[in-house]
Amino acid sequence: MNTPRGTLFIVAAPSGAGKSSLVNAVLAKEPGIALSISFTSRAPRPGERHAQHYHFVSKDEFKRMVADGDFFEHALVHGDYKGTARQSVEPQLASGKDVLLEIDWQGARQVREQVPDSVSVFILPPSRDALQTRMRNRGQDSEETIARRLAAAREEMSHYDEFDYVIVNEHFDAAAAELRAIFVAHRLRQPVQARRHAGLIRDLLA
């Protein structure tokens, strides 16, 4: 019997909306979902580790990978390239494992074109003031960078209606519970359960 293909989950948000913290909190309780580690051409921020937070490569190396067709999706974000390598996604989906992509709206659009049955979630901040405060509290970016990210956030947030689900990250625990509920509910949909438990259903109806 063929292994049911895994589900591809997409989570996107403007910078500073708390996407990474929410994803990490949910994955800690959902070990059945694998987080795909993106490639980026930007330098690591303080505390970031290669192959744990991102695969850090040079712009020339990134462009070579694009030319070789290595990316499932890629985009230029805030002046730096980001992308998801095919090798990080396809083998795991084929083996039946669910995979989560933590990417921007541009990448999400590319992925949905290739995987129409993917499940996408957009995270919104509770206000523009909260978004600005969160960016500053990280203490990782210059004022110039923060200003640039705030200017880009409105454009990013305007694409919320391209996603299946929208979560407002006002209270972290509530937002994390909502994100996890989306993952759990999708796994319990009839077509997914019918594939996963084909043998059981066949025996029950015999």
Helix, coil or strand: residue 73: strand
Residue 3 forms part of a structural domain? no
| CATH code, domain with 114 | 3.40.50.300
pTM: 0.86
The answer to whether 147 is a known ligand-binding residue is no
* Number of domains within the chain: 1
Residue 205 forms part of a structural domain? no
The answer to whether 32 is a known ligand-binding residue is no
Tens place of pLDDT per residue across the chain (206 aa): 567 789 999 999 998 898 999 999 999 999 889 999 999 999 998 888 888 889 999 999 999 999 999 998 998 877 899 999 988 898 999 988 999 999 989 899 999 998 899 999 999 999 988 888 888 777 667 888 888 888 888 899 999 999 999 999 999 999 999 999 999 999 899 988 898 899 999 999 99
Residue pair 131/27 in contact (Cβ under 8 Å)? The answer is no
Residue 108 forms part of a structural domain? yes
Beta-strand relationship, 39-40 and 8-12? unpaired
The answer to whether 91 is a known ligand-binding residue is no
Residue 147 forms part of a structural domain? yes
The answer to whether 18 is a known ligand-binding residue is yes
The answer to whether 125 is a known ligand-binding residue is no
The answer to whether 16 is a known ligand-binding residue is yes
